[in-house]
Amino acid sequence: MQMPAMPQPTFYIFKCEQSSPPGMPKPSCVTQETQGLFNHLASKMMEKGLMGPVQPIRTSCLGRCQMGPVMLVEPGHHMYVQLSKEKIDRIVEEHIIGGNPVQEYLIPEQFWGEPINLNQ
């Protein structure tokens, strides 16, 4: 008997969990003040019954440290910046559940141009 194909998640959410050692001048996404954001995201997902269809992933640096805390929502290459718990809640409600990215929390265009073309 053939098994039905295992479905893909609808979204992956890559949350940058990089922290710089104390005293390092370079900014990073995880500091004393922002260290609870991944757990907040995961709790919100569980509360809404989204675990499985949506996979939150802890990742290292996504290359936009100046604008941290950041997270990338796929599909769509949606990079959210300067996150807070309130912003995460709204992104879950409007983008993940509602299907509409929250435009004002996305990275400004000058920092997120067209993807690099590998064939040039």
Check binding of 68 to ligand FES (CB under 6 A).
Answer: yes
Question: Radius of gyration over alpha carbons of the chain, in Å?
Answer: 16
Length of the chain measured in residues: 120
User: Which span (33-41, 64-72, 79-87, 101-109) binds ligand FES, by CB under 6 A?
Assistant: 64-72
State CA 44 to chain mean position distance: 13
Q: Give me the helices (H) in 48-96, please.
A: 85-91
The smaller minimum CB distance to ligand FES, of residues 22 and 49, is found at: 22
Check binding of 79 to ligand FES (CB under 6 A).
Answer: no
The smaller minimum CB distance to ligand FES, of residues 48 and 64, is found at: 64
